[in-house]
Amino acid sequence: METDTVDGPGARARGGPLRPFRRLVDGRPGDSGARIARRARLLVTVATGLANLGGALVVLLFTIVVPDPAGEVSERLHTINYLVFTAYVIAAVPVGLLLGERFFRRVRRLVERHGAPGRHERSLLLYGPLRLMSVHLTLWGIGTVGWVLINLPFSTVLAVKYGLTSLLGGLTTCTVVYLLAERLLRRAVTAALTAGMPRRTGLPGVVARSVLAWALGTAVPILGLMVLALGSFLIAEVTLRDFAVAVLALGGTALVVGLGVTYGAARAIADPVESVRLGLARVERGDLDVEVPVYDATEVGLLQAGFNHMAAGLREHARLQDLFGRQVGEDVARVALERGIDLGGELRQVAVVFVDIIGSTRLAADRPPTEVVKLLNDFFAVVVATIGEHGGWINKFEGDAALAVFGAPLDLDGTARRALAASRELAARLRREVPALRAAVGVSAGEAVAGHIGAEERFEYTVIGDPVNEAARLTDLAKGTEARVLAAGSLLEEAAVDEAGGEEAARWRLGEEVTLRGRTRPTRLASPR
């Protein structure tokens, strides 16, 4: 059974100003693997490049606004620092791009291939954001250490200033890179998780992401303020104006970066949860052909996978219930599910329609088996449809015959009227729609036992009683009549209790009395006019 996937990021489910951005990031549901890989490569490259450029500019800004120790920094040293900083950024960019290209070559091969990915290939994508983050951490770490070593011979305070500024900026930038890569690689990760969720990944979960958002949105800015305050103690010449400018720069940057990081971490949790919520809403509406993409290997991914398992179980339950209903009848299945199943039965007032093919033995001998099966299916399709339209159900198929019941297991008004109308219409439809077959119909009504018969291991719902036997005998007798439909005359009197039943009874005429085979009392015959 095909399932309709709920977009995890919610590109189509949610509107708002970010909808074009989500569409750009996630693409279309039918995109090929190559297109997904190209989009992920382009977006991650641009996003990480902008994140690092922004981080470098922030670090450069703080090296300017945070006061230097008086008398220890010459103009020449400033020039050297700026040249080294610029040169390192220029050199680090192609290195980062080269390492990223190696990663995306493997991603492209994985996404474009057919079949479920292996364990190694799956870990490649799941740990992709962490690996990209580690690459950038390495580059920022090298730059930080190099900057400290260059300034240490001239001024310890200056080396500490540049080192801490670069360290805090690098940590923030690399975390932003991780969050961006995780978001932009979702479509590719979905392909990696089609084979199932790994047991353990060690990836940051809900708690770790929340702590990470706190660390970057709160802890890092506060540490920056503490370093700034400590520097003001060590550098006696710091003016109030310089200190205020530094605090404003740090505070403004912290507000912007903190908001972005917190929003990214929150969306990393909220998006998959929202996809599950949308899926649940569809399940509540009765749409079970729904599935959410699993693009997270943490607790949130387990939630997504759990929803898919639940939906699959509901689909299987619905399929079994549908098969059960087709096998025993919808009303019987519904009653069994609601009340349980007990062997035994209850007395009920029912009407019974029995229909049997005339000359079925010769039919099987003269025609190929496949043609016989097709004719039988066409025949039973008309029987089921006609009986169902009048409120009855097929209790059983017996070779080339069918037994229909009105009034069990649920109460039904006008059972006699319904059975008479159904049998009359059934005979006409069979002549018209299945002309290759001839069938006879018998109708009876009365008190019968309806319930589950058999053993605990195997049972069936059936109706046993005189109306069933009488309907079968009437069917045998009807095979020799022109109309090929006979009913017990007592049904006409029973049906005529209301206006609709009276109209139906008027469409029948009473005939002679006949003692049917196996019975002691005579039966008054009735046939359509």
Q: What is the CATH number of domain 341-528?
A: 3.30.70.1230
- Listed in sequence order, the residues at least 6 apart from 362 whose beta carbon sits closer than 8 Å to its beta carbon are none
**Mean pLDDT within 221-227:** 77
Nearest-5° Cα angle at 245, 244 to 249: 115
| pLDDT tens digits along 334-383 | 555 555 556 667 888 899 999 999 988 788 788 888 888 888 889 999 99
The predicted model scores a pTM of 0.57
Burial of 290 (0-12, 13-18, 19+ CB in 10 A): buried
Among residues 451, 448, 267, 422, which one has the least CA distance to residue 342?
451
> How far from the centroid of its chain's Cα atoms is residue 64's Cα?
53
The strand pairing partners of 259, in sequence order, are none
Upper half-sphere CA count for residue 314 (Cβ side, 13 Å) = 18
Q: Do the Cβ atoms of 529 and 507 come closer than 8 Å?
A: yes
What is the rounded CA–CA span in Å between residue 105 and residue 20? 28
Q: What are phi and psi of 419, to 5 degrees?
A: -65, -40
Structure tokens at 111: 């996404």
Q: What is the maximum alpha-carbon separation in the chain?
A: 130
The 3-class secondary structure across 133-200, one letter per residue, is HHHHHHHHHHHHHHHHHHHCCCCHHHHHHHHHHHHHHHHHHHHHHHHHHHHHCHHHHHHHCCCCCCCC
Q: How confident is the model at residue 49 (pLDDT cuts 50, 70, 90)?
A: confident
How many Cα atoms are found within 13 Å in the side-chain-facing hemisphere of 222? 6
Residue type, 333: A
Instruction: Give tens-digit pLDDT for 441-491.
Output: 999 999 898 887 777 666 677 888 889 999 999 999 999 888 899 999 888
Give me the pLDDT at residue 13, please: 42
Place of tokens 């998006």: 271
Specify the pLDDT at position 134: 84
- Element (DSSP H or E) covering residue 252: helix 240-284
Residue spans of the domains in the chain: they are 10-262, 341-528
Greatest mean pLDDT among 30-39, 94-103, 270-279, 418-427: 418-427
| pLDDT at residue 210 tops 50 | yes
CB-side exposure of 254: number of CA atoms within 13 Å?
19
Sorted by sequence, the CB contacts under 8 Å of residue 76 that are 6+ apart come out as none
Q: Bridge partners of 444?
A: 352
> From CA 27, how far away is CA 34, in angstroms rounded?
12
* Cα(219)–Cα(216) distance, integer angstroms: 6
Q: Rounded to the nearest 5 degrees, what angle is found at the Cα of 101, between the Cα atoms of 95 and 102? A: 95
Q: Which helix (H) or strand (E) holds 92?
A: helix 75-112
pLDDT, mean of residues 497-501: 70
Query: Could you give the CA distance from residue 401 to residue 418 in angstroms, rounded to a whole number?
Result: 20
Tell me how far apart the alpha carbons of residues 267 and 280 are, in angstroms, rounded to a whole number.
Answer: 19
Extract the tokens encoding 303.
Answer: 């939630």
Q: Are 58 and 253 in contact (CB under 8 A)?
A: yes
